[in-house]
Structure 1
Amino acid sequence: MSTRSATPQKGAASRRLIAVVLLVPLLAALALWAFAWPAARTAPRDLPLGVAGPAAATAQVEQQLGRHEGAFDIHRYADEAAAREAIEDRTVYGAVVVTPQGPELLTASAASPAVAQLLQQAVAQQAAADGTQVKTVDVVPAPENDPRGAGLTSSVLPLALAGMAAGAAVTLLGLRGVRAVGALVGVAILIGLVAASIAHSWLGVLTGDWWAEAGVFALTTLAVSGAVAGLAALVGTAGIGITAATIMLIGNPFSGAASAPQMLPEPVGAIGQWLPPGAGTTLLRSVSFYDGSAAIGPALTLAWWAALGLGAVLLGNAHKARATSAEPAPERELATAG
C-alpha cells in the first residue's frame, strides 16, 4: 500500500476515535441529566388537591396549604361526597375534608403512592402543630399485591424496549408498506396480551378490565414501534437511533411513572405526557383503577403516535417506490443486478 493511500485511512481512523471519545461521555452526561435531574428535583408543583367543607371552616386549611408556595392547586368542594367524586374522576389526587370531629384526609394511592404519602406527611405535620389528629381514608387504594405501585411503574421500560425492538426489527428485516404495518400491529397485539397476562393474571398488580389493560399495553407498544419504524422509513436507519434516544432519554425519565407529572420540574411533567411512556402509564392507571376516568387525553396521544408512525411507514414506502420507478431502465437493471 502506498503512503498516499495509508495517510487518509489513518486520518479517518483518528477522526472516528475522537468521535467515540467525545460522543460516549456526552451521551452518558445526557442520560445522567435526563434521569437524575427530575428525580433530584421531585416536589409538588401545582398538584391538584381538594378542600371540602363549609367556607368558614376551610379558610384556615387553605391558608395553611398556601404556605407551601406553588405546591398545590386547590380545588374547593362543598362536602366529602363531592371531594370523593373528584378523586374518583382523577380531577384531584386527594382532599382535606373539614369535619366537626377534625380534619380528614382523602387520598388515592392507586394514582400515586408517592403523592399519597406526601399528602399524609404534609397534612399530618400541620395537624400535629395544631394539636389535632388526621384520619386518613384511601379512596382509590393501590392493589394489595402492589401497594407501592412498583409493578405498574416497572412495566414502562419493558414496553418501551419492546416497541423499539419491534420497530427496529421491521426496519432491518426490510419489511415495507402494508407488510410492515401488519407486522407492527400483530406484534403490538401479542405484546399486549402477554403483558396483561403477566401484570394482571399472574402478578395481580392491575385490577381493571383485562381486555382494556391489554389494549393499553398494545397501543403503547404500537406508538413506540410505529414511531421507530416510521422515522426510519423516512430518513433511513438513523431514525431508529433518533427515536430510541427520544423514548429512552426523555420519554422514560419524564413520564412521572414513579410519582406524578406534577411532581417533576416544569415543563418536564407536561413533556412526558406527550410521549408514549408517560401517556401509556397515565392511561393504564385510568383503565386499571378508575374505570376509564380521564382516559381520553392519553389515549388520543398514543393513538396519534401510532397513526403518525404507521402513516410514515406507508409514506416512506410510497416515496421509495416512486423514486425507483423514476429511475431510467438501465439504472434499475444495474441496481437489481447489484
Structure 2
Amino acid sequence: MVAVLVAAPLIAALALWAFAWPAARTAPRDLPIGLVAPAGAPVAERLTTGPAEDAFDVHRYQDAEAARAAVQDREVYGALIASPRGTELLTASAASPAVAQLLERTVAAQAPPGTEVRTTDVVPLPETDPRGAAFAAGALPLALTGVAAAALVTLLGLTGGRAAGALTAAAALVGLTAAAVQHSWLGVLTGDWWAEAGVLGLTVLAVAAAAAGTAAVLGTRGLGLAAFVLVLLGNPFSGVTSAPELLPSAVAWIGGLLPPGASGELLRSVSYFGTAATAPALVLSAWALLGLTAVVLGGRWRHRETARPRSKQEE
C-alpha cells in the first residue's frame, strides 16, 4: 500500500513535468529566419536588436528568390522581405504552424505603424490538416506501438535472431499500415508514399529495438525504463506540436536525440519538403542498430547461461 501511495503521485508529477513544463516555457530561442532588407530598415532593426535579438537567428539574403529557396530547403522557418514595394513575410506552415503564426504576430508587432505586411505560405500544410494537429497526433501512437512490439517479443520469449527478425518485420508492416492511414486515407502526409512508409517503419523499429534491447539486458523491468525514456520523455520533448527551437534548449537537445523527435523532423522533411534530413535519419538508425545488437547479444548471453552446466554446489 505504501509503495502504491508513493509511486502514484510520483509518476503523476513526472508525467506532468515532462508534458506541461516544456509547453509552459514555449518561446523562440535562436529561431532561424531569413531577412532581405536594406541596412537601417526599421523592421530589420527591430528584429536584430533588443529582446528579439536572442529570440531569432537572422540569416541575411541578397534577394527574395534566395530567401524563398532557403525557406523551401528548411534552412530557415520563414523570411522577411522589406523593399520599396512593401513588406512581405514568407512562412512555411509545413515546417511548423506554431512558428508560422509566431512570425506573423512578431512581424506585425515590430512593423512601423501603418505598414502593411503581406504573408505568403511558401510550403503550406495540406488542406486536410491545416493546423498540423493530425500530423502531431501520429507521434505518440508510433512510440506506443514500438514499446508494445518489444513487450510482445519479450513476454513471448523470443530471443536472438528470431526476436530481431520479428521486430524488423513488424516495424516494416507498421510502416506500411501507418502510411496507408496517414497518407492514403487521411491525406495528412503528401510526399512520396514509400519514403514516408520507410520513415514510419524506421521510427517504430528504433523504439521497438531499443525497448527490446533494454529488456534483453535488464530483464522485463527494462521495458518500463524504455517506456519512460522513449514515450514519457520522448513524446513531449520531441517538439512535434511546435518546433525544437521553441522549447527550452536542454529539452530540444534531448528530444532531438530520441526517436519521436528525430522522426518528426525526418517525416516533415520527407513528406512536405521532398528532402531527407541526415541528422534525424542517423539518430533513428543508431537507435535501431544498437537495439537490435542488444537483442541478439542478450539472447546469446541468456542461451549460454541456461546451457552452462551447474556445479554440484549449485545443485
TM bracket (short chain): over 0.9
- Distance, in Å, in 2 between the alignment partners of 1:31 and 1:89 is 35
Matches within 5 A, 1:38-187: 38-54=22-38, 56=39, 58=41, 60-65=42-47, 66-67=49-50, 68-127=52-111, 129-187=112-170
How far does the alpha carbon of each residue in 1:146-167 deviate from its partner, in whole angstroms, 9 at most, with x for none?
1100111010000001001000
Task: Give the whole-Å Cα distance in 2 for the aligned partners of 1:305 and 1:281.
Answer: 15
Deviation at 1:328, TM superposition (A): 3.0
Is contact 1:53–1:80 with CA below 8 Å preserved after alignment?
Answer: no
When residues 326 and 97 of structure 1 are mapped into structure 2, their CA distance, relative to the original with a 3 A threshold, is same
Specify the SS of the correspondent of 1:256.
Answer: coil
Instruction: Give the ranges of 4+ consecutive aligned residues of structure 1 lying more than 6 Å apart after TM superposition.
Output: 329-332
- Is the partner of 2:128 in helix, strand or coil? coil
Normalised to the residue count of structure 2, the TM-score between the two structures is: 0.96
Ranges in structure 1 where 5+ consecutive residues have no aligned partner: 1-16
User: Which letter does structure 2 place at the counterpart of 1:82?
Assistant: A
TM-score by length of structure 1 reads: 0.89
Equivalent residue number for residue 177 of structure 2: 194
Residue in 2 that maps onto 1:232: 215
CA shift for structure 1 position 103: 1.3
Q: How does 1:204-215 map to 2 (within 5 A)?
A: 204-215=187-198
- 1:327-338 to 2 correspondence within 5 Å? 327-328=309-310
C-alpha contact 1:163 1:224 (8 A) present in aligned 2: yes
1:118-152 CA deviation, whole Å, 9 max, x = no partner? 1001101222x432100111111111111100111
Amino acid paired to 2:172 = I
Matched, 1:322 2:304: yes
The 2-side partners of 1:178 and 1:70 are apart by 50
**Who is 1:308 aligned against?**
290
Pairing partner for 1:243 from 206, 226, 230: 226
**SS at structure 1 position matched to 2:34:** strand
User: Are 2:15 and 1:31 equivalent residues in the alignment?
Assistant: yes
| Equivalent of 1:218 in 201, 225, 228 | 201
Contact 1:62 1:74 in 2 (8 A): no
**Letter of the structure 1 residue corresponding to residue 12 of structure 2:** A
Distance 1:331 1:251 in 2: 47
Distance 1:27 1:212 in 2: 37
Distance 1:233 1:218 in 2: 22
Distance 1:63 1:326 in 2: 74
| Residue in structure 2 matched with residue 13 of structure 1 by the alignment | none
Question: Whole-Å Cα distance in 2 between the matches of residues 327 and 245 of structure 1?
Answer: 37
Identity of aligned residues (%): 59
CA distance in 2, matches of 1:230, 1:330: 33
Displacement of 1:63 in angstroms is 2.1
| Counterpart amino acid of residue 104 in structure 2 | Q
Q: In the alignment, is the contact (CA less than 8 A) between 1:107 and 1:136 conserved in 2?
A: yes
SS in 1 for 2:33: strand
1:274 aligned residue: 257
Distance in 2 of aligned mates of 1:29 and 1:247: 17
In 2: Cα distance, 1:53 partner to 1:41 partner: 31
- Name the Cα RMSD after superposition: 1.5
Distance 1:73 1:331 in 2: 68
Aligned counterpart, 1:22: 6
Q: How many positions carry a matched residue from both structures?
A: 313
Matched-pair contact (CA < 8 Å) for 1:156–1:281: yes
Alpha-carbon displacement from aligned partner over 1:154-194 (angstroms, at most 9, x marks no partner):
10000001001000100000000111011101110111001
Give the drift of 1:41: 1.0
- Following TM superposition, by how much is the alpha carbon of 1:331 offset from its aligned partner in structure 2, in angstroms? 9.3
Offset of 1:323 from its aligned partner? 2.1
Q: 1:331 to 1:138 in 2, by over 3 A?
A: farther
